[in-house]
A and B are shown apart, each in its own frame.
Chain A
Amino acid sequence: MKAVAAYKYYDAETVEEACAVLNQYAGKAKVLAGGTDLVDWMKRRFMPTPEVLVNIKKIPGLSGITEEGGALKIGATTTLTDIVENSTIQSKYKSLADAAAKGPPPPIRNMGTVAGNLCQYVRCWYYRWPDWYCYRKGGPICFAPGGRNVPHAIMEQKVCNAVVPSDLAVPLAAMNATLTVQGTGGTREVAVKDLYVVLGTVLKPDEIITSVTVPEAPTKQAFLKSRVRAGVDFALVSAAAATTSKGTTVALGGVAPIMVAGTPDAINAAIDKATPLSENRYKVSVAKAMVRRVTA
């Protein structure tokens, strides 16, 4: 194994316990669920190694898919394979199953969790390379606008041009899903489309996602993803649409550092106002075509 600085390990048995440890090592502890992104992130050593890893996989009741009263509830440590193979999700929430199936290859799906997929670190090559001290690492500038920026953002660029890498966030945002987030201060609800903010998520250091709730099964839904190598790659652009009793919502992935979700007209207007960087003008037309195809 690549040399990783020493860290300690904590097996949490309840959510409260996990939050207490995260609170005690404020900001220096990380939650370990699937580990497919976190272990990679630590081995590449472009960020300081956390002091403590809190394993939440052994907390009982944190994984599982239940459907009650028309709402779908997915536990935080449910693996992506469980989502792909679940018959309820296959029949009623097809776009979610599609997004999980079009995500990583099966061995990674066997480990990766839903909450981990939502909270994974961005795939920007400047962020992921130790030599580039970029804004997201605490440095002075973002290197993407003046460098190679094929997979970077075309809209909503504030200070960082890395895009949201999560595949599941796109259909979940289109289906108006909410996250139940628990911390030492109590429990709160966060909408998936509000989860991402500039340079990270709205989660505080002592908070963990306990479940994802989809309020209503959509009557019509679709998910599309474009990528370089089918089977393994992250999305260049992905789009999901879901029609519920409240109307149609379209969500775009791979175009912005935050979630872009709204009515089809609003999304089309946002794409028209996009500000692509030097090498990713192609994303504008891909995104437009995808919105047209998922809403068709």
Chain B
Amino acid sequence: MSEEKKEVKGVSRRTFISGTVAGLVVGAAAAYGATQLAVPKPPPAPAKEPIKGKYISLTVNGKPTTLWVDARWTLANTLRNQLGLRGTTKGCDYGECGCCNVIVDGRAVPSCMVLAIDADGKTVETIEGLAKGGKLSPLQEAMVKHRAFQCGFCAPGFIMTAKALLDKKPRPTEDEIREALSGNICRCTGYHRIVESILIATGQKPPLERISSGAIP
């Protein structure tokens, strides 16, 4: 009863609110029109459709390869499961541990974070490409000789990251090596022997001389 009375009297709450909203909308539209001189064009339709997967061609360890990949596959999974290169190990799968690092176009990247479909036309180097003709590379030789690793799960990531550094800078200092390897996690060795092996592989003397003095084999 009272509500009807109110409505008869004057403006009801509902009409008042809708009126205010309409006023706001008109005001906003006027302000929009004033700032936007040209009427925005309707967006153009995209030229092609999104895809679920495609054939990619990439060079893996110097060998041109063409294969079909799903849009969801990462480069680490594609290398391991499609190309059979199981040397690239997967640790965390979130780009945190550096175990899966490979060299793409001359730069070390975590391959679990690269979508395989995105690596189309790129050059990929993995741990399998280092040993030439059954002979280990000097970096690997030094690592084996000075027992840089214990369990070895993180070794491919460390070695590929170190190789990317050595390709750019043949004689890095210890600080530069530690900086370059800061994204790699090793749970066994405490990193000293890895860094010292890289120093020895580049013809430098490790600062602590623990390995080179023969105190620790």
- Residues of chain A whose beta carbon lies under 8 Å from any beta carbon of chain B: 1-2, 4, 6-10, 16-17, 19-21, 23-24, 32, 35-36, 39-40, 43-44, 52-53, 55, 57, 81, 104-108, 110-111, 184-186, 206, 231-232
Contact = CB atoms under 8 A, between A and B. Distances in A.
Given A8-B52, A206-B43, A232 B113 contact: no
A80 to B, nearest CB: 11
Given A7-B71, A8-B71, A232-B182, 10 more contacts: A1-B74, A9-B52, A17-B44, A35-B115, A36-B95, A39-B95, A105-B183, A107-B109, A110-B109, A111-B114
Nearest to B182: A231
Given A1-B93, A57-B118, A24 B46 contact: yes
Q: Tell me which of A1, A21, A108, A206 has the highest count of chain B C-beta atoms within 10 A of its own C-beta.
A: A1
A19 B45 CA distance: 10
Contacts of B182: 105-106, 231-232
Contact of A17 (B46, B161, B179): B46
B85 interface: no
A132 B110 CA distance: 28
Contacts of B107: 81, 107, 110
B134 interface: no
A69 B112 CA distance: 41
B32 to A, nearest CB: 11
Nearest to B102: A107
Q: Tell me which of A10, A111, A184 has the highest count of chain B C-beta atoms within 10 A of its own C-beta.
A: A111
A42 to B, nearest CB: 9
Interface in B86-116: 93-96, 98, 101, 107-110, 112-115
A196 B160 CA distance: 38
B118 A110 contact: no
Contacts of A231: 179, 182-183
B77 A1 contact: yes
**7 closest A-B pairs (Cβ-Cβ)?**
A105-B183, A8-B50, A184-B43, A231-B182, A9-B71, A110-B107, A10-B50
B87 to A, nearest CB: 17
A16 B118 contact: no
A33 B76 CA distance: 18
Contact of B93 (A43, A55, A105): A43
B40 interface: yes
Contact of A20 (B43, B53, B98, B109): B43
Q: Tell me which of A2, A8, A81 has the highest count of chain B C-beta atoms within 10 A of its own C-beta.
A: A8
Contacts of A2: 93
Contacts of A107: 95, 98, 101, 107-110, 161, 183
Nearest to B179: A106
Nearest to B110: A107
B183 A104 contact: yes
A6 B52 contact: yes
B114 A110 contact: no
A104 B48 CA distance: 35
B183 A39 contact: no
6 contacts: A23-B43, A24-B43, A39-B95, A52-B50, A106-B183, A107-B107
A39 B115 contact: yes
Contacts of A7: 71-72
A17 B50 contact: no
Contacts of B45: 20, 24
Q: Tell me which of B73, B107, B161, B184 has the highest count of chain A C-beta atoms within 10 A of its own C-beta.
A: B107
A19 B112 CA distance: 27
Contacts of A17: 44, 46-47
A232 B44 CA distance: 42
Contacts of B101: 107
Interface in B45-93: 45-48, 50-53, 71-74, 76-77, 93
Contacts of A43: 93-94
A24 B47 CA distance: 12
A110 B108 contact: yes
B73 A20 contact: no
Contact of B46 (A10, A81, A104, A108): A10
Q: Tell me which of A44, A57, A110, A231 has the highest count of chain B C-beta atoms within 10 A of its own C-beta.
A: A110
Nearest to A12: B46
A4 B76 CA distance: 15
Q: Tell me which of B50, B73, B182, B184 has the highest count of chain A C-beta atoms within 10 A of its own C-beta.
A: B50
B96 to A, nearest CB: 8
A181 to B, nearest CB: 15
Contact of B180 (A24, A53, A106): A106
Interface string B157-198: 000010000000000000000011011100000000000000
